[in-house]
Each structure stands twice: as structure tokens, then as C-alpha cells.
Homo-oligomer: A and B are copies of this chain.
């Protein structure tokens, strides 16, 4: 049993995540908090993303404002097009997201991009009424999903960004200059984005305020196969899901067979797969699904979703889009700035194209929790098999008993480690119970301080997954932990 509900129960009980403002009756759907353990997992996830993607590839990272000017979203198209179709009841005013409502009531798959006319036709055809009061609906309309905010006493119009990448596009020109940029240049950002979803649901899976980690690779469209570093990843195995069939293939073969359009796209998809393999996701339950023409944005020549299989079905974690020069050409046109740069490798001016890896952090966290959840029915243990780099606690520190100086010795070891490692001191309850509590939040190791410690300065290290124990010297603990964390 690893269902959405099981994970949710653990999340609520162990401080992973819980609803925002829950003590109030006007708490709003689609807003969740990371609790103490969840915050650590989320932060660890982001640090691993920095390590395995940003530092590995020498990317640069920025951190921009979440509130952005109106012009940005004129240029991006969000002001006109970032809408969902809605149905509003004439009688009680209840509002529903039209495409989902029709699917729910008729069992038919309804494309997201349906026109208003087509929606109204379906509502009539199936004689759909309001779920709340059986009233009839107004003609369908469009609801813009951006949150508007008014700035200053003169109420200048601005918006909470619906995606972090707009910051990167708008800042590109300055970044390229001040950082002595050369194409291809990957610029990353992690931060909050905001979408006024009509029907947010399932906690971390569809939020109105959520974390994204986006990477925008600015590149010369004429040099997408001129990428020596592709050599380093060419043997990476990728699961490509194209036209309803999955194939396991190396990055190199995927380029050679034309399944991926060029080395640059294949390189970054490979880095992404390598990153996720280190987060503890079961990679055999992931895939890169190629989007069909009616799913992908009109400007995207190549679009793959990195998906993961959960108890809720396949879930999109990362959108991998080749966005061409759509973003920079729109921003250049509306801002009237020249955003061309020089590519010294062939000394030409070029408006960079963009390949993007747009990651949803909250969904990734949920998926990792679900894939890590393990119930041992025999021993009635619940174990969260998080990898050391993601676990909120790396190692528990337990005095076997609190007398005979063991407490003080354990506290001394705790103090020695706690500034540099995520350790957790616990002396309450039986040692077995302490192991259980630790396993439920995914800590991979426990150190026990016993009477032998007082004689030979060794402790027992217990490995969560194998439940094996061995003795190590107190002076070696840091080295053992470093070796585990810094594995390449």
C-alpha cells in the first residue's frame, strides 16, 4: 500500500506538509506549508539540483522578483492566453473548470485547448447542469490564471509571475554581459510561481503557490550539435515514450536515430535523468513522454515531459521544451531592446534560442516520498527509504541509556556534528522505538552510544535499509558521513 492517502497521513503526522492557515475557516484551497521535516527535504532536493545540474554543468543561477511588470506578460502572451475555460452557474454562481467538468460528467477525454463554442456545444449535447444546485450554466468564458497586484498609491498593474522563467528571459541581456557569457549559456532559477487554479487539489500536486526550478539554456540554433561535453553523457540510458511506446535507449542512439533532435537537447535531458536517479525516484517508473502536436505550445519544436508513475497515474515533473527564439523575440519586440548577442565561435550575431527544463519541485517531493514509502508488514515497520542526500535527518544520535555518562557522551557527539551535518539527538523511549521514529522520516543512519563507547570511543552505526550494525570510531564519524554525502 503506497497510495496518495498513505503518504498524506504520514506527511501530516510527521511534519512533512500540511494545509496553510488551517486554524481559520477561510483557509484557501491550493496553499500548503512545508513543515520542519518537509522543509529539510525540499531544501535538500534543491541543493541536490544545484549540485547535479548547476555545478556539474557550470550553470549560473539568479533569484528575481516574483512580482513583475505588466509588459512582461504582454510580451510572454500570458495576459491574453494564460486562461482556463470556466462554466458558471446562473443560479448559485458556482464555477467549474469547463474541460475537467465535462470529462468528469461524461467520461470523455476533453482536450485542454477547446474553444468556447465547442465547450458550449458539449454542455448542451450532454445537458450538463451545476453540480451544486442543478442550475443551468452561463455561456462558457475564459478565466485568467495570473494573480494581479496593484503597486503603490497609483495602483500600477503588475502580476505575480506564473512561471519563474520570465525573470531569466527579461534579465538575460544583463546577465550575458556581466558574466562574460558564451553560448550555450544555461541560466537557472529556483523560486515561487503562482497560478490562480480554479480547482486546486491533491496537496502538493496542484497548488496555487508552488516552487519551480527552471533552467533556460540559451543557445545558437546553428550549433546545436557542436557540443563536446555531450561525450560525457552519451551512454546515459533514457526512457523515451513516443507514440504510445516506450524505448530504453542511450542518449547517443537517440540523437543518431532522430528521436531527439540534437546533442544539446539530448545532453540536458541526460543530465536531468542522472539528477533524478540520485533523488531516490525509481527510475524504471519514469519516462520522457514526447508531446503530440495538439498538446505542445505552438512555438515548441520539440517537447518532452519527464513523467513519473505514482498511485495517481503518470505525473508530469519536468517540461522539456525547445522554445526556439519565441521568448527573446517577443521581449525584444515589446521592450524595443536589442537582445542579440555575439557568438565568438563563428563570430555572428544571433538571437539565442532556448531549450528549457521546467521542473515542479513540490510534485517531485511528493513522488520521491511515494516511491520511498515502504511498509514491512511482518515487523509492522514503516520505512521511508530516502537517499542520504534527500533525507531530512542524516543520522540519529542515541544514548542507549541516559545514565553512566552515556547521555553526556551522546550530547558531546551531537554537538561535534550538528553544525555541519543534519543530525538528530533523541533519548526518549526504547532504542527500538527511536529507530522506528527515525525510519519513518527517512533517516538512513543511527549512531548508538553504549557502555563500550565509554571504554574504546567507538559507537554503533546502524544502516536503515539493511538493519546491519557495525562499530566505528567516534573520530571517524565525520569521514564516514562525508564519504556518503560527497559520492560522485
Contact = CB atoms under 8 A, between A and B. Distances in A.
Interface stretch (A31-39, A128-136, A282-290, A402-410): A31-39
Interface string A148-177: 111111101010100000010011011100
Contact of A209 (B62, B66, B196, B488): B66
Contacts of A152: 28-29, 95, 196-198
A28 to B, nearest CB: 5
Contacts of A148: 149-150
Contacts of A425: 58
Contacts of A29: 152
Given A20-B65, A175-B15, A488-B419, A71 B35 contact: no
Contacts of A26: 69-71, 156
A345 to B, nearest CB: 15
A86 interface: yes
Nearest to A487: B419
A411 to B, nearest CB: 11
Contacts of A65: 20-21, 31-33, 209
Nearest to A67: B209
A150 B147 contact: yes
Contacts of A413: none
Interface string A40-55: 1010000000011001
A151 B486 CA distance: 44
A35 B181 CA distance: 13
Copies in the complex: 2
A271 interface: no
Nearest to A22: B174
Nearest to A156: B28
Contacts of A376: none
A112 interface: no
A95 B39 CA distance: 41
Most chain B beta carbons < 10 A, residue from A28, A68, A194, A208: A28
Contacts of A20: 64-65, 68-69, 167, 170
A154 to B, nearest CB: 7
B209 A151 contact: no
B24 A58 contact: no
B335 A24 contact: yes
Contacts of A70: 26
A58 B23 contact: no
A13 interface: yes
A248 interface: no
A385 interface: no
A72 interface: yes
A127 interface: no
Interface string A197-219: 11000000000110000000000
A337 B413 CA distance: 40
Contacts of A35: 62, 171, 174-175, 178-179
A63 interface: yes
Interface of A: 12-15, 18, 20-36, 38-40, 42, 51-52, 55-56, 58, 60-72, 86, 88, 93, 95, 143, 147-154, 156, 158, 160, 167, 170-171, 173-175, 178-179, 192, 194, 196-198, 208-209, 331, 334-335, 337, 418-420, 425, 486, 488
User: What 5 A-B pairs have minimum CB-CB distances, sorted nearest first?
Assistant: A95-B153, A33-B64, A36-B60, A31-B65, A20-B65
28 contacts: A12-B178, A20-B167, A20-B170, A21-B68, A21-B69, A21-B71, A22-B174, A23-B173, A23-B331, A24-B72, A24-B334, A26-B69, A31-B65, A33-B64, A33-B65, A33-B171, A34-B64, A36-B60, A36-B178, A38-B63, A40-B61, A42-B63, A55-B418, A67-B209, A143-B153, A149-B149, A151-B196, A152-B198
